[in-house]
Amino acid sequence: MNLREYLRNASEHIPAAPHANPRLETEVLIRHALRISREQFFADLERTLTSDEAAAMDALVARRASGEPLAYITGHREFYGLDFVVNNHVLIPRQETELLVDLALDFAKDWAPSELSIADVGTGSGAIAIALAINLPGATAFATEWDDGAIEVARANFRRHDVQGRVDLLQGDLLEPIQGQVDIIVSNPPYIPTDEIEGLAVEVQQEPRQALDGGLDGLDTFRRLIGQAPTKLKPRGLMLVELSPQQMDNAEILAAQAFPLTEVSHADDLLGLARVLVIKCK
Ligand SMILES: C[S@@+](CC[C@H](N)C(=O)[O-])C[C@H]1O[C@@H](n2cnc3c(N)ncnc32)[C@H](O)[C@@H]1O
């Protein structure tokens, strides 16, 4: 069998979820198994496969067919134009989370980066903290996380992007490990209501429970975070929290209680859905 035929057959075993592209996913798995570039892949399409090559590709296709996320199989995911290592200890960074980075960078435009301090709470793979550190060289950055496995992945990504000397990775509960106050708090906390987790796509259910499960209404972690935040955010600071659009009204009420006399609003994602809670101190 040649590579083109393998691609066609194997694509049929890849889950065809909404927005999924089984052919492209199969191509990525083939390139990962054969360790070849995209150019080499197209150049090799008519080449007959060896049995060892077919076996290596079959093993990856079987993992994907059983619902393992593509990013866990390849060990990589792109976020904010940067490549991150991922495994099943961390949430796979999502495109919608890039909005948190955009909003933080927009706020930072009026500051000298050396004056800015930032905290990424529940850093997981470290994607948000690293994207901010790279785009705001000179800023002081902290990333907190309580899970041992996630800490290891974040540390690997800090080294990969050479920010280990610029981002302080702190293990502990939400904002507690941070001494003093920061100018920007960003967080993508777990916010899926517990009883919705079973109904999520098989791939999503393979991501760490502590990265997804936000309790009965999804706001358990947010409630604790917003309780800690007033003593950790500087007077002219900004806090950004990713949540689901259905939670935004309640989250804005909780935020207004924690930060009275402060502007509380939200920002919409590319689909026009309320995605990020915005607390802007004056
Ligand atoms: C939804 S994931 C977000 C990961 C990453 N920031 C991103 O956006 O891809 C939430 C992360 O918060 C961590 N986490 C949950 N509760 C925490 C807590 N109380 N203190 C510190 N980290 C927590 C989880 O382990 C997980 O890595």
**Model confidence pLDDT, tens digit, residues 221-263:** 999 999 999 999 999 999 999 999 999 999 999 999 999 989 9
In 3D, which of 165, 175, 163, 181 has the Cα closest to residue 127? 163
Q: Is 8 helix (H, G, I), strand (E, B) or coil?
A: helix
Q: Residues 145-162: what's their mean pLDDT? A: 98
CATH superfamily entry for domain 81-280: Vaccinia Virus protein VP39 (3.40.50.150)
Give kind and range of the element (H or E) at residue 64.
Answer: helix 51-65
Q: What is the β-pairing status of strands 263-268 and 233-242?
A: unpaired
Every domain of the chain with CATH number 1.10.8 lies at: 3-66
In angstroms, how far is the first alpha carbon of the chain from the final one? Answer: 66
Q: How far apart are CA 5 and CA 183, in angstroms?
A: 55
Among the atoms of ligand 1, which is closest to the Cα of residue 144? 21
Q: 50 C-alpha to center of ligand 1: Å?
A: 43
- Dump pLDDT digits (tens) for 34-50: 999 999 999 999 999 99
> What class does CATH assign to 3-66?
mainly alpha
- Dump pLDDT digits (tens) for 56-106: 999 999 999 999 999 999 999 999 999 999 999 999 999 999 999 999 999
Residue of 188, 209, 269, 276 to test ligand 1 pocket, by largest number of atoms within 8 Å of CB: 188
Every domain of the chain with CATH number 3.40.50.150 lies at: 81-280
| pLDDT at site 16 | 76
Query: What confidence tier does 20 reach under pLDDT thresholds 50, 70, 90?
Result: confident
Is a pLDDT exceeding 90 seen at residue 112?
A: no
Is a pLDDT exceeding 80 seen at residue 184?
A: yes
